[in-house]
């Protein structure tokens, strides 16, 4: 039988997804829930996987550009590392919000700017073996001053960096969040492509 027979195979090439035999909550906190999944794979093998679950409201990360060459980064305390890190503004989508509204709100709360133009450019996941979390990356341009009160325990430090200096940023000890790095490279390449297309159109 052909491996790619659509009647018997998924797009991943495997015959079928594992069967969930049981799911149980093994730990619960204010923010996180740990769930154990008992799985049976199509070849008969059985395994138990654990994953983090919780409110699946979605999240946004914003590449905010005050001008065509620079991006806004924030410095905030990261409890996981017990230190301050440099990253992009981000946050959860509140009930009733779409990602555009959520991104503009987070930008106002964390950076003191709103954006006249917000464009979704990518969707990123984090540790998909252990969590279902997805983050929408948006490019924000045509900024204007606007601050909303946020829920941060202390004021965030906002820094402006050149988008073309990503290699230098990667050499810093305080800039290492994979989603922020990916988002900046995606935004940079998108803007480069648009500039090349504009230049070719003018020729």
Tally of domains in the chain: 2
The residue with tokens 């996941």 is: 125
Task: Kindly state whether residues 47 and 93 are assigned to the same domain.
Answer: no
Residues 84 and 177: their CA atoms lie apart, in Å, by: 12
Judge if 116 and 168 occupy the same domain: yes
Q: Which domain covers residue 107, as residue numbers? A: 59-202
Is the pTM of the predicted complex or chain greater than 0.75? yes
Average pLDDT over residues 155-184: 95
1 and 90 co-located in one domain: no
Pair (113, 194) in one structural domain: yes
What is the spatial distance between Cα 158 and Cα 73, in angstroms, rounded to a whole number? Answer: 6
Q: In the chain, what's the furthest Cα-to-Cα distance?
A: 63
Mean pLDDT of all residues belonging to the chain: 89
Same-domain check for residues 92 and 171? yes
In this structure, the answer to whether residues 31 and 69 fall within a common structural domain is no
Q: Kindly state whether residues 118 and 184 are assigned to the same domain.
A: yes
What average pLDDT score do residues 124-148 get?
Answer: 93
CATH of the domain at 77: 3.90.79.10
Band (106; pLDDT cuts 50, 70, 90): very high
Which pLDDT belongs to residue 30? 81
Render 9-74 in DSSP notation, one character per residue.
--TTSSSSPPEEEEEEEEEE-SS-EEEEEEEE-TTS-EEEEEEEE-----EEEEEE-SBTTEEEEE
User: Looking at the structure, do residues 44 and 69 belong to the same domain, yes or no?
Assistant: no
Query: In this predicted structure, what is the pLDDT of residue 203?
Result: 61
> Same structural domain for residues 135 and 187?
yes
- Distance between CA 84 and CA 159 in Å, rounded? 13
The mean pLDDT value for 104-116 works out to 98
pLDDT 10s digits, 35-57 = 999 999 988 999 999 998 866 77
**What would the pLDDT profile of 172-195 be if each residue is shown by its tens digit?**
999 999 999 999 999 999 999 888
Domain boundary among 28, 54, 80: 54
Q: pLDDT per residue over 11-26, tens digit each?
A: 556 678 899 999 999 9
**Residue 43 and residue 103 in one domain:** no
Judgement on whether residues 94 and 63 belong to the same structural domain of the protein: yes
């Amino acid at each position: 039988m052909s491996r790619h027979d659509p009647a018997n195979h998924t797009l991943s090439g495997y015959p079928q997804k594992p069967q969930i035999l049981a799911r149980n909550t093994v730990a619960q906190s204010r923010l996180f829930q740990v769930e154990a999944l008992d799985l049976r794979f199509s070849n008969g093998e059985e395994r138990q996987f654990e994953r983090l679950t919780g409110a699946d409201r979605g999240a946004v990360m914003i590449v905010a550009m005050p001008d065509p060459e620079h991006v806004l980064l924030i410095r905030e305390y990261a409890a996981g590392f017990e230190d301050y890190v440099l990253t992009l503004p981000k946050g959860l989508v509140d009930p009733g919000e779409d990602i555009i509204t959520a991104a503009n709100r987070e930008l106002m709360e964390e950076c003191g700017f709103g954006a006249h133009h917000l464009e979704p450019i990518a969707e990123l996941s984090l540790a998909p073996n252990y969590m279902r979390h997805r983050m929408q990356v948006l490019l924000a341009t045509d900024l204007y001053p606007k601050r909303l009160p946020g829920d941060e325990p202390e004021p965030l430090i906002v820094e402006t960096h050149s988008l073309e200096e990503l290699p230098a940023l990667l050499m810093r000890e305080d800039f290492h969040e994979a989603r922020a790095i990916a988002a900046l490279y995606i935004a940079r390449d998108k803007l480069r492509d648009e500039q090349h297309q504009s230049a070719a159109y003018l020729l």
